[in-house]
Amino acid sequence: MTEQPTPPEDTPGFNAETPHATPERPISDIARRALLEAAERRAAEDAAVLSPEHGGPRGPEPTRYGDWEKKGLAVDF
C-alpha cells in the first residue's frame, strides 16, 4: 500500500471524439462513422441560411400562435 493514490492516465479513451463512447462501452468503427456523419449533417443543417419569405405574414407565424386574421378578415387555411 502506498500513501499516494495512483494518478489517472492522461491518455484519451477509446473513441474519445465520439459521443456516448466510454472505455467500458466502446463503439464499433461502423457506429462511430455513422455518428460522426450524422453530426456533420446536423451541423450543415444548422449552418443553412433560409431566404426570407416574400409576401408572408408580418410578425409571428399565424399557424403557430393561432392568429388567423389579417386586417380584420379571417383567413381559412
Q: What is the structure's pLDDT at 18?
A: 63
Q: What is the structure's pLDDT at 37?
A: 93
Q: What is the structure's pLDDT at 21?
A: 65
Domain residue ranges in the chain: 14-50
Query: What region does 37 belong to: left with phi over 0, alpha with psi -120 to 50, or beta?
Result: alpha
- CB neighbours (10 Å) of residue 43? 9
Three-state SS sequence of 6-75: CCCCCCCCCCCCCCCCCCCCCCCHHHHHHHHHHHHHHHHHHHCCCCCCCCCCCCCCHHHHCCCEECCEEC
Q: pLDDT tens digits, the chain, 77 residues: what are they?
A: 678 777 666 555 556 666 666 667 777 888 888 988 998 998 888 777 777 777 776 776 666 666 666 666 666 65
Q: What angle do CA 65, 69, 71 make, to 5 degrees?
A: 135
pTM of the model as a whole: 0.38
